[in-house]
Chains A and B, each alone.
Chain A
Amino acid sequence: MLIALAAVPVLIAVAVKLSSRPAAPGRGPLFLDRITQNGLFVAVTALVVCVPLFLPLTVGVVAGDTIAGEANLGTLRYLLLAPAGRIRLLLVKYAGAVAFCFAATATVAASGALAGVVLFPVGPVTLLSGDTVSVGESALRSLLIAAYITVSLLGLSAIGLLISTFTDVPVGAMAATIVLSVVSQVLDNLPQLEWLHPWLFSHYWLGFADLLRQPISWTSFGENALLQAGYIAVCGALAYAKFSNKDVLS
């Protein structure tokens, strides 16, 4: 899955490289075309492209597999008999999912940066606020965005873990997690449900633009972290309540 994730920025970079032509008169350069001017944009562009579907997809697969996958293989009972301890097993499984969130995001960012450096010229980056920062600073900003997206995916991971404790069929838990991430984003786009938006775990997913301003605005980072922490607390508590009393019959 990490390889597939790494392929996304490379595909974007190659496609843009092959198809880019001067912007038509009267129209600004397309968003994607901006990376032809500076390869460092490839990483950010790839992350933007991956956030709505591709990253939640892989995270859903990993988080949904945590408990249900072990139950499906029949290894869950032997882990519990070892004894691993139910709380400990849950914590370790969640830690594994968190590590994957980080690895997935870092993979997209790193592969994007690499593809950009190879295929396009690299230079100082113009931020959304109009300021220009050095290559080193922009790499740091890319890392910050990767951290932001990692944090964004923690709530979804907790939801996946919770669903995973309810079933012995890993595919079911994966699908349910992924569907929830899509549903949450669709609801987030319905203006009629505006009261609900701040509570959706995907609400701040694309809010990392604030990290591309000078000075950095940390508001959305903080709000996002708080929201994700809430999801972790609620889903974690529910998963613990479910799993600690569950009859392991698989």
Chain B
Amino acid sequence: MNKPPTAASVSAPERATPVGSPGLAIETRGLVKRFGHRSAVDGIDLEVPCGSVFGFLGPNGSGKTTTIRVLLGLASASSGDIRVLGKEMPQALASVLPDVGALVEGPGFYPFLSGTGNLMRLDAADRHGSSSTRRQRVSDALERVGLGHAAGKKVRAYSLGMKQRLGLANAMLRPRELLVLDEPTNGLDPQGTREVRNLVRSLAAGGTTVLVSSHLLAEVEQMCTHVGVMSAGRLVAQGPLEELGAAGQAHVVVQTPDVELASRVLRRLGLVPGEAPGTGSPWGTTAVLGTGINGREPEAIVAALVADGVRVRGFTVENASLEERFVSLTGEGFDVVG
């Protein structure tokens, strides 16, 4: 206890930050999960800041759900350190889990019980849930996900989206410090997707840290403050959303009838012109796409184009979208990495 606070970083200089750094809701160091010889999670250093909405991205089979299972103590790590809400896992599992709400790999409920019945049973399984407020908390949670009217119906009669909502209600039975939502909008209608987004935002505004795993990039872009990208068991990028987007190359899109000339100018500037999406614009012009602005000032490019007599009808600089960044990080292939 009387060790100086710098001891950890001195003894482990290879670590950027010592395990247990404040301000992180989830932190892993060299987390590995092996099934037989195959590493489903291969040494990841995940850092989820407190109060963030962390988008956990990755193609199918990249290890997102496995990571979540290990974080929540459902599976044991093969090696590596894990801290959740500042406590060492899995040793502190029993004291951490009551503060964590989770939806892992789809909802799981008893088909022969009603929505209310299911939540009552799950709440009763938690020793920390007080039984006097149980009924009230269950009906509040159901109301919050829009299942108030279907609360008495058997789960057998629920649609996939309704089960998903029930799973979300279960995650919110008690005020939580951390919510782990694995594919929360799976099977939801557009209204449901919007509601989940609003729900996540309002929870985050209340100080709850939310880890959302998803492969719906547009959704992640809309609600997350931080992003981590998994690929084949490795965490290939993580950080604030803007930083990750900015790391990708921006494009310039030129709208001009003088395609040949513009291409020549762009090539001279060191850009790579290519076919632009959206040829045949309202003015009957063709756009030329230069990949990357290579650190040049956009106005300098316009000036060069105009000086060479290119009739510039439109000029836009587009930042790399999360999707492009995602594909550049995880590869183009459609095949699941096994």
Tell me if A74 and B108 are in contact (CB < 8 A): yes
CB under 8 Å from chain B, chain A span 113-129: none
Contacts of A82 in B (CB 8 A): 97, 122-123, 125-126, 129
> B108 contacts A78, CB within 8 Å?
yes
20 sample A-B contacts, Cβ–Cβ < 8 Å, listed by A number: A74-B106, A74-B109, A77-B69, A77-B105, A77-B108, A78-B122, A78-B170, A80-B73, A80-B74, A81-B72, A81-B74, A82-B123, A83-B98, A84-B125, A84-B126, A89-B125, A247-B69, A247-B74, A248-B74, A249-B74
**Docked complex Cα distance between A83 and B92 (Å):** 12
Q: Mark A85-113, 1 if CB is under 8 A from B, else 0.
A: 10011000000000000000000000000
Contact at B69–A249, with CB atoms within 8 Å? yes
A85 to B72 Cα, complex, angstroms: 12
Whether B310 sits at the interface, judged by CB under 8 Å, is no
User: Chain B contact residues: over half helix, strand or loop, or mixed?
Assistant: loop
Q: How many residues of A contact B (CB 8 A)?
A: 19
- B100, CB-defined interface residue at 8 Å: yes
Chain B positions 190-248 with a Cβ under 8 Å from a chain A Cβ? none
Taking CB atoms, residues of chain B closer than 8 Å to A247 are 69, 74-76
Q: Taking the nearest CB of chain B, how far is it from the CB of A247, in angstroms?
A: 4
B93 within 8 A of partner (CB) = yes
A37 at the interface (CB under 8 A from B): no
B107 within 8 A of A: yes
Cβ-defined contact, B109 with A75, below 8 A:
yes
User: Which chain B residues have a beta carbon within 8 Å of chain A's beta carbons?
Assistant: 69, 72-76, 93-94, 97-98, 100, 102, 104-111, 122-123, 125-127, 129, 170
A73 to B104, CA, bound (A): 13
| A245 CB-CB contact with B under 8 Å | yes
Complex Cα gap A179–B284 (Å): 78
Contacts of A183 in B (CB 8 A): none
CB distance from B138 to the nearest CB of A (A): 13
Indicate whether A79 reaches chain B with its CB closer than 8 angstroms.
yes
Kindly list chain B residues whose C-beta atoms are within 8 Å of the C-beta of A74. Answer: 105-109
**CB under 8 Å from chain B, chain A span 46-95:** 73-85, 88-89
CB contact between A81 and one of B76, B97, B106 (< 8 Å): that residue: B97
Quick one: CB contact mask for A238-250 with B, threshold 8 Å, 1 for yes?
0000000101110
A73 and B108 contact, CB distance less than 8 A:
yes
- Measured between beta carbons, the chain B residues less than 8 angstroms from A81 are 72, 74, 97, 100, 102, 104
Question: What CA separation (Å) do A58 and B76 show in the bound complex?
Answer: 34
Q: Is the CB of A83 within 8 A of B108?
A: no
CB distance from A74 to the nearest CB of B (A): 2
Residues of A within 8 A of B127 (CB): 85, 88
- Chain B residues with CB under 8 Å of A75's CB are 108-110, 122
Contact A248 to B125, CB < 8 A, known contacts A74-B106, A74-B108, A85-B94: no
Additional A-B contacts beyond A247-B69, A248-B69 (16; CB < 8 A): A73-B108, A73-B109, A74-B108, A75-B108, A75-B122, A78-B104, A82-B125, A83-B93, A85-B94, A85-B127, A88-B127, A89-B125, A247-B75, A249-B69, A249-B74, A249-B75
The list of the 5 closest CB pairs from A to B, nearest first, reads A74-B108, A247-B75, A83-B97, A82-B126, A84-B125
User: Within 8 Å CB of A249, what residues of B?
Assistant: 69, 74-75
B162 CB → nearest A CB, Å: 15
Residues of chain B within 8 A of A83, CB atoms compared: 93-94, 97-98, 125-126
Nearest chain A residue, comparing its CB with the CB of B65: A249
B105: chain A residues at CB < 8 Å are: 74, 77
> Which residues of B lie under 8 Å from residue A77 when comparing CB positions?
69, 74, 104-105, 108
Whether B122 contacts A79 by the Cβ 8 Å rule is yes
Contacts of A248 in B (CB 8 A): 69, 74-75
A90 to B8, CA, bound (A): 39
| Assembly CA distance A206 to B190 (angstroms) | 63
Which residues of the other chain, A, contact B111 by a CB distance below 8 angstroms?
73
Residues of A within 8 A of B72 (CB): 81
| Smallest CB separation, A164 vs chain B (Å) | 17
Name the residue of chain B whose CB is nearest to the CB of A89.
Answer: B125
Q: In whole angstroms, what is the CA distance A247 to B77 when docked?
A: 9
CA distance A185 to B76 in the complex (A): 39
Q: Which residues of A contact B122 (CB under 8 A)?
A: 75, 78-79, 82
The minimal Cβ–Cβ distance linking A63 to chain B, given in whole angstroms, is 19
A85 to B97, CA, bound (A): 10
User: How long is the Cα–Cα vector from A13 to B94 in the complex, in angstroms?
Assistant: 54
Determine the chain B residues whose CB is within 8 A of the CB of A76 once the complex forms.
Answer: 108
Q: List A contacts of B126 (CB < 8 A).
A: 82-84
The winner among A75, A77, A79, A81 for most chain B CB atoms within 10 A is A81
Which residue of the partner chain A has the closest CB to B167?
A78
Chain B residues positioned under 8 Å from A84 (CB to CB): 125-126
